[in-house]
Structure 1
Amino acid sequence: MRLSPTENLILELLRENSRRSLTEIADIVGLSRPTVKYHVDKLIESKVISRFTIEVDTTQVDSVTGTRAMFDLQLKRNTCSIVYASIQRWSEVVSAWSLTGDTDMRILLEAANLSILEELRDRLSRHPEVLTVTTSVILKSWREKT
């Protein structure tokens, strides 16, 4: 997709601060709030913007909010794309990978508490393509890069 100069400027402003309001962006770029909303919605629909996020300085907090876990999946056959399609809208999914070796797929999730992770694990284990799910709760993160 070819971006207009306005869309490039909006993207740059959101890269600097993804929590920036549409009103603030509109003031900076000199457009109305509805026009900026139209451009942002267009960027989301065309998948130029895939998600809004924040960066956390882990030296300033004891831990990232929530409980994190890795789900290692063994599948009945090579169907990672089918499994991923069924979980891609889960807000708790942080990352997902297809792997070589005994584990076919690894999923990193972050939820508010263990009971939510347990419910997601149960849902995933009932997926028709999933053979086994092994869960590893993350106790502490020493270093993370995005």
Structure 2
Amino acid sequence: MRLNDLDERIVHALAEDARRSYSDIGAEVGLSAPAVKRRVDRLLASGAITGFTVRVDPAALGWETEGFVEIYCRHNTSPDDIRRGLERYPEVAAASTVTGEADAVVQLYASDMRHFERVLERIAGEPFVERTKSVLVLSPLLRRYTSGSPT
């Protein structure tokens, strides 16, 4: 489903703060609270909005170390094989197949360097992994939770 301008503005408002009231969002986009609710319900039903959540600073949960791991897979490894292999690691925050030499890139969090190293070793030992290459995050510079800006 492609969002129209009004729906995009509503989604942007919810992405900034999902706890905002329909009335507050309606005042911003020029609709009544019931009209905003109907649109949000339709966006949920269509799958354009996949859910509501809270964003937590990983450090508040004890995850002080962040890194990205490039995964180079053995021949004939499917994206489903990669996903199944990685989904059991609670340290993996995100994983995507990518273009370029690597087959996938994984974002992971760990409590410290030793924990990061142990997780990296376990991932490198997965049957589908040929090799890995990792980098550690020193300072996150920019994190966006929405795509695009409201018009």
Under a length normalisation based on structure 2, what TM-score does the superposition of the two structures give?
A: 0.52
Q: Answer yes or no: is 1:133 the counterpart of 2:143.
A: no
Give the superposed CA RMSD. 4.3
C-alpha distance 106-7 of structure 1, shift in aligned 2 (>3 A): closer
How many equivalent residue pairs? Answer: 128
1:100, CA displacement in angstroms? 2.9
1:69, CA displacement in angstroms? 0.7
Contact 1:68 1:138 in 2 (8 A): yes
Distance 2:11 2:72 in 1: 39
Distance 1:42 1:94 in 2: 25
1:9-28 → structure 2 map (5 Å cutoff): 10-15=10-15, 17=16, 19-21=17-19, 24-26=21-23, 28=26
> Between the two proteins, what is the percent identity of the paired residues?
15
Q: Among residues 61, 66, 69, which one is paired with 1:68 in the alignment?
A: 66
Distance 1:12 1:88 in 2: 29
Of the two structures, which has the highest relative contact order with CA contacts closer than 8 Å and spacing of 6 or more? 2
Moved more, 72-81 or 119-128: 119-128
- Please state whether the residue corresponding to 1:82 is helix, strand or coil: helix
Distance 1:121 1:42 in 2: 38
The CA deviation string for residues 2-31 of structure 1, in whole angstroms up to 9 with x for no partner, is 65887555324224x2x2326x02553422
Contact 1:71 1:133 in 2 (8 A): yes
Letter in 1 for 2:18: R
Letter in 2 for 1:25: Y
- Please state whether the residue corresponding to 1:31 is helix, strand or coil: helix
Q: Show the counterpart of 2:49.
A: 49
Distance 1:104 1:124 in 2: 14
Q: Show the counterpart of 2:147.
A: none
Q: Show the counterpart of 2:58.
A: none
Q: Show the counterpart of 1:93.
A: 93
The CA deviation string for residues 68-99 of structure 1, in whole angstroms up to 9 with x for no partner, is 11212221114352344324696843453424
- Please state whether the residue corresponding to 2:34 is helix, strand or coil: coil
Letter in 2 for 1:129: F
Contact 1:70 1:108 in 2 (8 A): yes
Which structure 1 residue ranges, 5 or more long, are not aligned?
A: 55-64
